[in-house]
Amino acid sequence: QVRLVESGGGSVQSGGSLRLSCAASGSTYSNYCMGWFRRAPGKEREGLVVVDINGVTSYADSVKGRFSISRDNAKNTLALQMNSLKPEDTAMYYCAAVYKTFCRRDSYSPFAASGYWGQGTQVTVSS
* Residue pLDDT, tens place only, 73-119: 999 999 999 999 999 999 999 999 999 999 988 789 999 999 999 99
Quick count: other Cβ atoms within 10 Å of Cβ 42?
Answer: 5
Confidence category of residue 9, pLDDT binned at 50, 70, 90: very high
Average pLDDT over residues 113-126: 96
Q: What are phi and psi of 102, to 5 degrees?
A: -95, -10
pLDDT at 45 over 90: yes
Residue pair 57/50 in contact by the 8 Å Cβ criterion: yes
Whole-number Å distance between alpha carbons of 37 and 93: 6
Q: Considering the chain, what percentage of its residues have pLDDT values greater than 70?
A: 100
pLDDT given for residue 55 in this prediction: 93
